[in-house]
Structure 1
Amino acid sequence: MRDFFGHVNISNFDAVSYINRVANDNATNLPNVAIAVSGGGYRAMLTGGGALKAFDSRTPNSTAKGQVGGLLQSATYVSGLSGGSWLLASIYVNNFTTIGDLQAGSTGDAWQLGRSILQGPETGGIQLLSTADYYRTIADQVEDKSNAGYNTTLTDIWARMLSFQFINATDGGPNYTWSSIALEDNFSSGSIPMPLVVADLRSPGEKIVGANSTVMEFSPFEFGSWDPTIFGFAPLEYLGSRFNNGSIPANESCVRGYDNAGFVFGTSSTLFNDIVSYVNRSGLPSVLENLITDTLNHLGKDNQDIADYVNPFYNYTQNTGLTTQTQVLNVVDGGEDDQNIPLHPLIQPSRHIDVIFAVDSSADTPDSWPNGTSLVYTYERSLNSSGVGNGTSFPSVPDVNTFVNKGLNTHPTFFGCNSSNTSSPTPLIVYLPNYPYVTYSNLSTLTLSINNTERDAVIQNAYDMVTMANGTRDADWPACVGCAVLSRSFERTNTKVPDICNTCFNRYCWDGTLNSSTPAPYEPTSYLTTLNNTSAAGFIMVPNTVLLALGTVAMTAMAL
């Protein structure tokens, strides 16, 4: 954090000296920073990637004037779900690599996304498989898990496919585990943030995941939930072991390797049970629509459309919820409860997080732009203090119509600036919505391939989005980021807020006013010269849904 404030200048305030003084006096008053990356397929992965590229001090020129490099290194946590979890996996499983290095990969390497996930990577680099060999290898990998005595579903196949796209290892790194991240030197030394992957729990017999569904969390150490339905965590390294009342019986074995890295981020993005709603809006010919719908409904009846986990909370007597009464957990995409930004792990009181930089690539509008829906759902969930809220606190946010009418989804917006309006410690939310700067980055969630030119344009767009076009949209923006980082710390230390910070808060904090009238269709125009001039949402959806139909049929045959 000292390095971050070494180049982020807050006028008439010595932030580095402040950090040093607070660290010596009472380190608990130091700023506690987190970053959250939303779901949304490749759109979210690449937009989040551009944001982290800007936040990463290792990126060339990211610590120059107008830049915010070092924010990533200053963060304690970074969370992701669905497409955001793909981003975390791409970085952490590949030894905390940089976005630039991922972009520079060769044919067959991670992030070479020109071929559909359903076709497999091009031969070359570390991958030497034809499409037929690709499917055969995946089938063998999934069969190995089945032969070990575990249920397998469509998610296991999906997870192996994703692994070929995001893990730089032969055959998608089938032996890589999420818990192995904890063994990396840069993680164990505390040099990098803790990655948190989010998924949702689907109750037995349930088809629709509601807003009050249990939110599950994977860290390199644990798997579990803060929600009252579980309120417990199990050691991730031993996930797959058959726990009973919080321990492994003497007649059972301690299992390792179940937390396959691909299975973790595949679980967070397993939205097969929700794809029917996409298909119904896609405009496909009825014959093809019926094919996909019938196939997915068949999978749903057999519980093949979820990720199946051995329940480590079985008979856990400290909790009497239904979750403890079943030997398996049905886990699905982390955004199915409409909390598409993974804020839930970051607003837990015991984590004491001061500020969350929330990168939102949600497809809330018909053209796949965000409108604040995720923030609304997280806020409303936190109000259920006697239930799933469970002690969490979240700042007040407006309705989605106000987001659009007041343009809060067109630029960074701060929520929770006045902490005196909350009854318990509440993080400041720096909302960073997907917005066109140099390209229309509103790819369909079901985009299954993207060439390197488009990929790099979306990444650059997000870089401009979180730097306010390298400070050209607002020269004070880096200082405003610094002020957001320090805000809660200032309150705890009774430090006078610098004038530039008051200017920033007046500029970026939601003023509390509403305009809930129905907005006009949201069709943003690019802020800078575009690298391409076609909105991405319309033309990608149908062909990739066709591929999805064919791939679903193929995967169904493998799964059943």
Structure 2
Amino acid sequence: MKLILILLVTAVLGYAPQEVKCPSTNLIRSGEDISENEKNWIDNRRKKTTAALSEYIKNVGLDDDAVDLVENSSINIGIALSGGGYRSMLVGVGQLAALDNRTEVTEGSSLGGIMQSANYISGLSGGSYLIGSLSLNNWPSVHQSVLENDLWNLTEANQLVNTNGLWTVIWPVLTDNLWEALSHINHWVTGKDTGIKYDLQAKKDAGFPVTLTDAWGRDLSYQLFSEENNAEDLNFSDIRDQPAFKNYDMPFPFITAIGREPGTIVYNTNSTVFEMNPFEMGSSDPSLNSFTDIKYLGSRLSNGTNNGTCVAGFENAGFMVGTSSSLFNEYLDTLVCDDCNSLNFAVKWVLKKFLTYLSNTGQDVAQYPNTFKNNSFGTSRKLATNDTLYLLDGGLAGEVIPITPMMTTQRKLDAVFALDNSQNWPDGSSLITSYERQFTEQGKNMVIPYVPDQKTFLHQNLTAKPTFFGCSAKNLTDLVKDDVVPPLVIYLPNRPYTFWTNISLYQFSFTNEEKKAIIQNGFETVSRLNGTIDEDWPTCVGCAVIRREQERQGIEQSEQCKKCFEDYCWDGTIYESDEPYYPPLNFTDSGLTNDSVTYEGFSNVTASSSSLFSFF
């Protein structure tokens, strides 16, 4: 009878995963290359990206030779959105708007068309909120999302975390009762037998572990997805069914997380970087070196084989996005650290005890049944033999810009836009961490151009304006792997132009005016204040994205592009002093912002050179 029921299940309803009949195909493959599904999808996407890039190159005034170059090549562009909570999501919305040819600006020079020219887009943590939300809402424009649909309602009435009455959770925390502690979050019970409580109970009753990440992911779904049922049965693989994806009208999306080794609470650059894309979940890192069909994620397999019964629905969209932003210990640590003054001594002691309990039981991270168990592709025996995978926010290992899976020799990127909204004001450390990872065993298939140390980033004001890294392939020969040259990286950091967007990682609610102001400032960070700082900036971006193809064909840059590279390329020099460098606070167009600056509501918005929203 049970087998009959299993065979009858054709669609997963509700949050709980369900048993289904396994497909006849092998569900595990080696990570030595990208999947056939991805290859075929990218081949079809390229037909549109080539046309879009050709149009962009014409619009920014590059010569006819550059147009011919694009039309007769396959330039491969990626966009990476950093973590950083809602700060990263909202700033990232504006940054993508600047790259989107659907965004209408009344004046100024536009970078619109770069997003249409990109094959890949990645996000983690706050960046994953944005990528997941756009992908599963059919890739709307910013105006559609914010002005027409109010997709991201982040007002206090709709916030995720109920910060009132912390004392009311002391008893469940003191008694290590996670379930009772979770009952204080918003959306826990929304009606008769509805709400997060019942979603989590259904998953638990189905025999799957439930942790803080489940509650977090379900809570996020109320803000990120437009489903009437708040996406309780919306899966990450449902991106495949979105018209924008099916018609190749959006970049290929993926989000990332890292694996925590079983039996430890340690994470660093040696941690396995996992990616979740519409077709697969897995890692090309040597430790795992394998992928599985994401539709059957959570199935109990042994070296890829099954007993006829698989699992569907484990890859709930909110759970995937929640996994990419699972940093609860770090959040709670900000409340209980020795120098924190938000809580008194007694409450701190209770929370520290609770943190220890969560870590020891693995309930502070996302738990996945190990679909990769006993596979023979990876080098880590712990990953191969453990029943459970422990996944958490990828930024906790320092790579807050999710470029690791994008910078593989398998994907062969030519140019990558690194949108850095990590720290309150970025200092280059995320890009440095990724650069250093390529020299480890885990990064042996990564190719990233040279970047300087943090002191040089600050001293040379490389976080105060866009900077190009890897401008000349002939200077990167020592970094080439499998004949793949590192892509040129266009680094775009968050900084204040029209609003102070150094917002705390732990701010969860915003007025609609604040939300729009943050988005507007994101637009300005990428557009260089809508072209008012440098009207040639869109042209320089065009010079950057075609450079690798020019070098492959032995084509010399135009004088126009040479001037752009003089203005925006890192010159390779290093700040040699042993003394730390502390540049002055400076909010001018060419200065550096390197310190915490708070704002007091919407009053700090200054006059903007462009207007995405009518209230400016």
Contact 1:4 1:69 in 2 (8 A): no
Structure 1 Cα separation of the partners of residues 245 and 66 of structure 2: 26
Deviation of 1:230 after TM superposition, in Å, equals 0.3
Structure 2 Cα separation of the partners of residues 292 and 231 of structure 1: 38
Corresponding position of 2:24: none
Deviation of 1:392 after TM superposition, in Å, equals 1.4
Q: Secondary structure at the match of 1:350?
A: coil
Structure 2 Cα separation of the partners of residues 177 and 131 of structure 1: 20
Deviation of 1:522 after TM superposition, in Å, equals 6.2
Deviation of 1:436 after TM superposition, in Å, equals 0.5
Residue in structure 2 matching 1:409, options 445, 457, 463: 463
Q: Aligned AA for 2:70? A: I
Q: How has the CA–CA distance of structure 1 residues 76 and 3 changed in structure 2, closer, same or farther, with 3 Å as cutoff?
A: closer
Corresponding position of 1:339: 399
Residue in structure 1 matching 2:199, options 115, 131, 141: 141
Q: Aligned AA for 1:306? A: V
Corresponding position of 2:139: 96
Q: Secondary structure at the match of 1:431?
A: strand
Contact 1:102 1:111 in 2 (8 A): no
Structure 1 Cα separation of the partners of residues 565 and 436 of structure 2: 24
Deviation of 1:348 after TM superposition, in Å, equals 0.5
Q: How has the CA–CA distance of structure 1 residues 222 and 514 changed in structure 2, closer, same or farther, with 3 Å as cutoff?
A: same
1:72 aligns with 2:130: no
Deviation sequence 1:9-36 (CA, Å, 0-9, x none): 244445333322x1xxxxxx42100000
Structure 2 Cα separation of the partners of residues 305 and 521 of structure 1: 38
Corresponding position of 2:99: 55
Q: Secondary structure at the match of 2:189?
A: helix
Structure 2 Cα separation of the partners of residues 130 and 420 of structure 1: 55
Q: How has the CA–CA distance of structure 1 residues 440 and 538 changed in structure 2, closer, same or farther, with 3 Å as cutoff?
A: closer
Residue in structure 1 matching 2:79, options 35, 48, 67: 35
Deviation of 1:467 after TM superposition, in Å, equals 0.6
Corresponding position of 1:6: 55
Contact 2:235 2:315 in 1 (8 A): yes
Corresponding position of 2:17: none
Structure 2 Cα separation of the partners of residues 393 and 399 of structure 1: 18
The sequence identity of aligned pairs, in percent, is: 36
Q: How has the CA–CA distance of structure 1 residues 268 and 132 changed in structure 2, closer, same or farther, with 3 Å as cutoff?
A: closer
Deviation of 1:326 after TM superposition, in Å, equals 0.5
Deviation of 1:493 after TM superposition, in Å, equals 1.9
Q: Aligned AA for 1:272? A: F
Deviation of 1:248 after TM superposition, in Å, equals 1.9
Deviation of 1:273 after TM superposition, in Å, equals 2.7
Corresponding position of 1:124: none
Residue in structure 1 matching 2:438, options 357, 378, 382: 382
Corresponding position of 1:200: 258
Q: How has the CA–CA distance of structure 1 residues 539 and 156 changed in structure 2, closer, same or farther, with 3 Å as cutoff?
A: farther
Corresponding position of 1:519: 581
Structure 2 Cα separation of the partners of residues 169 and 119 of structure 1: 23
Corresponding position of 1:531: none
1:480 aligns with 2:534: no
Residue in structure 2 matching 1:509, options 541, 553, 569: 569
Deviation of 1:236 after TM superposition, in Å, equals 0.3
Contact 2:275 2:282 in 1 (8 A): yes
Corresponding position of 1:242: 300
Deviation of 1:383 after TM superposition, in Å, equals 1.4
Corresponding position of 1:214: 272
1:161 aligns with 2:219: yes
Corresponding position of 1:490: 550
Contact 1:119 1:131 in 2 (8 A): no
Corresponding position of 1:173: 231
Q: Secondary structure at the match of 2:122?
A: strand
1:428 aligns with 2:488: yes
Structure 2 Cα separation of the partners of residues 31 and 94 of structure 1: 27
Q: How has the CA–CA distance of structure 1 residues 395 and 132 changed in structure 2, closer, same or farther, with 3 Å as cutoff?
A: closer
Residue in structure 2 matching 1:275, options 302, 306, 331: 331
Q: Secondary structure at the match of 2:161?
A: coil
Deviation sequence 1:334-377 (CA, Å, 0-9, x none): 101000000101111010101100000111xxxx2100001111
Give the aligned CA root-mean-square deviation in angstroms.
2.3
1:309 aligns with 2:368: yes
Q: Secondary structure at the match of 2:505?
A: coil
Residue in structure 1 matching 2:384, options 283, 299, 324: 324
Contact 1:13 1:498 in 2 (8 A): no
Corresponding position of 1:441: 501
Contact 2:187 2:196 in 1 (8 A): no
Q: How has the CA–CA distance of structure 1 residues 259 and 398 changed in structure 2, closer, same or farther, with 3 Å as cutoff?
A: same
Deviation of 1:169 after TM superposition, in Å, equals 1.4
Q: TM-score, length-normalised on structure 2?
A: 0.79
Q: Secondary structure at the match of 1:217?
A: strand
Corresponding position of 2:161: 118
Structure 2 Cα separation of the partners of residues 539 and 455 of structure 1: 14
Corresponding position of 2:177: none
Q: How has the CA–CA distance of structure 1 residues 393 and 306 changed in structure 2, closer, same or farther, with 3 Å as cutoff?
A: same
Q: Aligned AA for 1:263? A: F
Structure 1 Cα separation of the partners of residues 60 and 379 of structure 2: 52
Contact 2:217 2:321 in 1 (8 A): yes
Deviation sequence 1:456-501 (CA, Å, 0-9, x none): 1111111011011111101110001111110101111222211111
Q: Secondary structure at the match of 2:312?
A: coil
Unmatched 5+ residue regions in structure 1?
23-28, 121-128, 529-533, 541-560
Q: Secondary structure at the match of 2:570?
A: coil
Deviation of 1:329 after TM superposition, in Å, equals 0.1
Structure 2 Cα separation of the partners of residues 399 and 276 of structure 1: 30
Contact 1:2 1:16 in 2 (8 A): no
Q: TM-score, length-normalised on structure 1?
A: 0.86
Residue in structure 1 matching 2:529, options 469, 474, 481: 469
Deviation of 1:319 after TM superposition, in Å, equals 2.9
Residue in structure 2 matching 1:293, options 345, 352, 364: 352
Q: Aligned AA for 1:59? A: T
Q: Secondary structure at the match of 1:309?
A: strand
Deviation of 1:106 after TM superposition, in Å, equals 6.1
Structure 2 Cα separation of the partners of residues 58 and 427 of structure 1: 27
Q: How has the CA–CA distance of structure 1 residues 106 and 389 changed in structure 2, closer, same or farther, with 3 Å as cutoff?
A: closer
Contact 1:57 1:69 in 2 (8 A): yes
Structure 1 Cα separation of the partners of residues 190 and 398 of structure 2: 33
Contact 1:4 1:68 in 2 (8 A): no
Deviation of 1:213 after TM superposition, in Å, equals 0.6
Residue in structure 2 matching 1:356, options 416, 423, 430: 416
Structure 2 Cα separation of the partners of residues 512 and 392 of structure 1: 21
Contact 2:154 2:508 in 1 (8 A): no
Structure 1 Cα separation of the partners of residues 583 and 270 of structure 2: 30
Contact 2:303 2:376 in 1 (8 A): yes
Deviation of 1:237 after TM superposition, in Å, equals 0.6
1:183 aligns with 2:241: yes
Deviation of 1:320 after TM superposition, in Å, equals 4.4
Contact 2:257 2:391 in 1 (8 A): yes
Q: How has the CA–CA distance of structure 1 residues 254 and 152 changed in structure 2, closer, same or farther, with 3 Å as cutoff?
A: same
How many residues align structurally? 510
Unmatched 5+ residue regions in structure 2?
1-49, 164-184, 602-616
Q: Aligned AA for 2:153? A: W
Q: Secondary structure at the match of 1:169?
A: coil
Structure 1 Cα separation of the partners of residues 234 and 187 of structure 2: 22
Structure 1 Cα separation of the partners of residues 76 and 412 of structure 2: 7
The farther-off stretch of 261-270 and 140-149 is 140-149
